[in-house]
């Protein structure tokens, strides 16, 4: 439920959380002061400060698109897949064999494919409508099937109710999404300066009737497709690992959602551009994925279609500590022991301590705050996790 409402100079911001860090609150008030913002701002329970706009924010606009309100990892999202396996029947060695295959076949962190993947994995495109990406095809083909760094992960999980084994992947459009975001944000800043436009640092915009805005929308939408293709390719490597470790395993269709994008939608009787930055669409009956941290639960959820959130929900647990604060205050030994006590196979080490469970909010509290936005359907706990490095 909405925990508080704060006012900007033009609109209210509705918050599905109680405690908000100062920097995040400053960004929320900025959003609610934008001349082109529509109706109100919706802030999800996993919100924390981002670049220009909070991660975990939903901004609807009239007539403009804001590149930084989507962010630099365009199309970043989740996929999840249920297997025919039951956790009690899966041996630890089988799990480690699958994880070993993933590490051998999925480049992690900043690593790319040594050789371009087959062009059949490249999403179809009208390349004439993609002025920035049309010359990046070779680069895209070396990034499909790669995890990336930060909070991206591949997990083997089990359903707490049935023991069913699931696979979950979090990743995005890799370097292409970053380049597209930075390119069009720079254009937006340039033109806002030329127009003497009223804006806020970090929230430069492009009027939707301009060619620059049309190009951004087309390239942003293609980056969403790249991100989906990337997750699908990694899921194929996971399936290979399971097939070798547990012959005869079967897989259900993959669930896929994005949480960094902008789209035309109709809300409160008007067609507007909804920017979701670290927020998941949650139309009534729509299946979503809300992950926790690398040592905590994740959820498959069903959207409730709440209009007050622009039919959106959180995209995860959300950071409790900044990366710097996590590295300076968390104990590697304690964080690792917590996961080992739960039987989780992990690779946590000092270089990724900022992704430890203690750096994140309580996922169950996050779900409690948004019980009017989504309904949990499947509760999953991690059995093994690979993080971006």
Tell me whether residue 374 is in a domain: yes
Give backbone dihedrals phi and psi of 190, rounded to 5 degrees, phi first. Answer: -60, -50
Tell me whether residue 326 is in a domain: no
Tell me whether residue 331 is in a domain: no
pLDDT at residue 177 is higher than 90: yes
pLDDT at residue 321 is higher than 90: no
Question: Which two three-digit tokens encode residue 281?
Answer: 């669409």
- Please report which confidence band the pLDDT of residue 20 belongs to, taking 50, 70 and 90 as the band edges: very high
- When divided into structural domains, the chain yields a total of 1
Tell me whether residue 168 is in a domain: yes
Tens-place pLDDT, residues 57-106? 999 999 999 999 999 999 999 999 999 999 999 999 999 999 999 999 99
Contacts of 187 (CB under 8 A, 6+ apart): 206, 212, 216
* CB-based contact 259:276 (threshold 8 Å): yes
Lowest mean pLDDT of 101-115, 304-318, 333-347, name the range: 333-347
Q: Which residues have a catalytic role annotated?
A: 315
Q: Give me the domain span that covers residue 196.
A: 4-320+360-387
* CB-based contact 26:202 (threshold 8 Å): no
* CB-based contact 298:292 (threshold 8 Å): yes
State the Cα torsion 356-358-361-364 to the nearest 10°: 90
Tens-place pLDDT, residues 197-250? 878 889 999 999 999 999 999 999 999 999 999 999 999 999 999 999 999 999
CA–CA dist 269, 165 (Å, integer): 42
pLDDT at residue 389 is higher than 70: no
CA–CA dist 148, 56 (Å, integer): 20
What average pLDDT does the structure give for the chain? Answer: 95
Which residues are 13's β-sheet partners? 6, 41
* CB-based contact 152:171 (threshold 8 Å): yes
Tell me whether residue 337 is in a domain: no
**CATH number of the domain to which 215 belongs:** 3.90.1860.10
* CB-based contact 47:24 (threshold 8 Å): yes
Tell me whether residue 349 is in a domain: no
């Amino acid at each position: 439920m909405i925990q508080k409402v704060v006012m900007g100079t033009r609109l209210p911001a509705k918050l599905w959380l109680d405690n908000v860090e100062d920097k995040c609150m400053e960004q929320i008030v900025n959003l609610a002061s934008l001349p082109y913002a529509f109706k109100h701002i919706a802030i999800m329970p996993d919100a924390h400060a981002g670049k220009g706009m909070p991660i975990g924010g939903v901004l609807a606009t009239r007539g403009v698109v804001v590149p930084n309100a989507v962010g630099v990892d365009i199309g970043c999202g989740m996929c999840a897949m249920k297997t025919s396996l039951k956790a009690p029947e899966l041996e630890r060695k089988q799990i480690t064999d699958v994880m070993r295959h993933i590490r051998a076949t999925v480049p992690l962190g900043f690593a790319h494919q040594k050789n371009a993947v087959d062009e059949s994995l490249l999403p179809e495109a009208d390349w004439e409508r993609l002025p920035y990406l049309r010359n990046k095809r070779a680069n895209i083909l070396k990034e499909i099937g790669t995890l990336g760094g930060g909070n991206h992960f591949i997990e083997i999980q089990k359903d707490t109710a049935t023991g069913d084994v699931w696979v979950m992947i979090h990743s995005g459009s890799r370097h292409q999404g970053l380049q597209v975001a930075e390119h069009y944000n720079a254009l937006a800043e340039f033109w806002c300066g030329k127009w003497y436009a009223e804006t806020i640092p970090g929230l430069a915009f492009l009027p939707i009737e301009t060619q620059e805005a049309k190009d951004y929308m087309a390239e942003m939408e293609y980056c969403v497709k790249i991100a989906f293709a990337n997750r699908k390719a990694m899921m194929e490597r996971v399936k290979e690992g399971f097939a070798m470790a547990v012959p005869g395993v079967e897989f259900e269709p993959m669930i896929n959602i994005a949480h960094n994008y902008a789209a035309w939608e109709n809300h409160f009787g008007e067609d507007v551009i909804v920017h979701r930055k670290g927020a998941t669409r949650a139309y009534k009956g729509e299946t979503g994925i809300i992950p926790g941290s690398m040592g905590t639960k994740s959820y498959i959820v069903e959207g409730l279609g709440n209009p007050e959130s622009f039919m959106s929900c959180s995209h995860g647990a959300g950071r409790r500590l900044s990366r710097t604060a996590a590295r300076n205050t968390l104990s590697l030994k304690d964080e690792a022991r917590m996961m080992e006590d739960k039987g989780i196979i992990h690779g946590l080490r000092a270089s990724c301590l900022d992704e430890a469970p203690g750096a994140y909010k309580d996922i169950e509290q996050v779900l409690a705050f948004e019980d009017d936005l989504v309904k949990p359907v499947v509760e999953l706990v991690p059995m093994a996790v690979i993080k971006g490095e």
